[in-house]
Structure 1
Amino acid sequence: MELLAVQLKQEELCTVKDLALQHGVSERTITRDLQLMREQGLPIDADRGRGGGVRLDRNWGVGRMNLAYPEAVDLLISIAVAEQMDSPMFLASLGSVRRQLVASFSPEKRHKVNRLKARILIGSTASTYVQRTINPPPKRVVQALHQAFIDQGSLVIKYQREDLAESKRTIEPHYLMLNYPVWYVIAFDHLRNGPRTFRADRILSADMTGEHFRLLPKDAFQETLDRNGLLI
């Protein structure tokens, strides 16, 4: 329905028949989706005259976004990261946005989001050498790491060290740390039976195992952070 809402806002008038043809569904399906959108509060106007159609009020938009819970969590965490980095640019309204997002959550979900935020650490800026060697990690790796971090689920990863040697590990991603612009995964490594730090862009593949872990305190990882020269 998101694509349908965007189309209705951008175009003057769309007939149900044309919408059904464009989206490859029946007119009945389009009619049902339009009704659901109205029930969700979207101001859909209908012109029943000759050559008429339906459209979404163009003034609708800002302040009326309907975010799914995972999307709201991601946005809230992104705001928290920006605030922790203390950048002077574009932060004037972030506090207001954050408060509105938090207010939309139930107390239980607020607690969950606060726990997630506490697991994201902001360190110092990465060295020039490190910045020259970074590459964007594969999208599938980012998605798996994101899900495992939120769900406290373990991952099987293929990891490439600086000397290009590769190894297969089962890890528990307890914390994420940003040494701008490089992200690190602070994890319990089952291969080494202890805490280890992995550069996210050196993870070549990642798959969920279906197993979950109990969160360890940050202090349990301080030694490995010190060993890797990562400063919080």
Structure 2
Amino acid sequence: MNRTDRLYALAEELRRVGPAGTTSARLARLFEVSARTVKRDVSALQQAGLPVAAQAGLGGGYVLAASVGLPPVNFTPAQAVALALAVRALPPGSPFGSDADAARAKVLDALPVEARARADALAARVWSRSEPAQGPPATVLRAVEQSLDRSLVVAIEYGSSDGTVSRRRVEPILLARTGGLWYLVAWCRLRDDLRWFRLDRVLRADLTPERYDPRPVASVGEPPSGARPVSARPSDA
């Protein structure tokens, strides 16, 4: 990452952590530079008018002034390509796949002309393909996505491994991908218990108007080996 891109990324990281601030040591690890380089970069941001204040205490650190109003997040060309690569790597039928593709296009369209040209040139040098996979119908994905987002019970038709089809009302808790397959983990009202439903075996899903109180993710237990929430961020440790 060149210095200009790093300065953009550093400003965005300070914006993200907000009033809690972050340590210089963590910033050095995050951007793979020395603490001295972080200090010089912060000084450059301060000279450019960004109100970054130094924090006292063990390890030191930096925080943006509480009153600062920053413009919308700016992506570097490399970050835009990384997002495009992540979207392209999604297997067909992945949850929120259509939203991911729309977001990718928005990110590229929002780049300044010069940055867009750099992103296009960089992206042309990265080849990727998604692995073939059988996914559920788009209507099933949309119903499950909206159910999770709005906490609405969803009625599903589910095909078991022996070919029988059951009709159930479920309360989604989370979506998980393991063993190359997507699962809907939900509270099944028919079984009055938690169940993992293979998403490619959900034949139909209809959103109902009935709301439910989402169960905590911890109720599902430990995630599969190597898995972590999509919301996970670089460690603050």
TM range (shorter): 0.3 to 0.5
TM-score w.r.t. the length of structure 2 is: 0.39
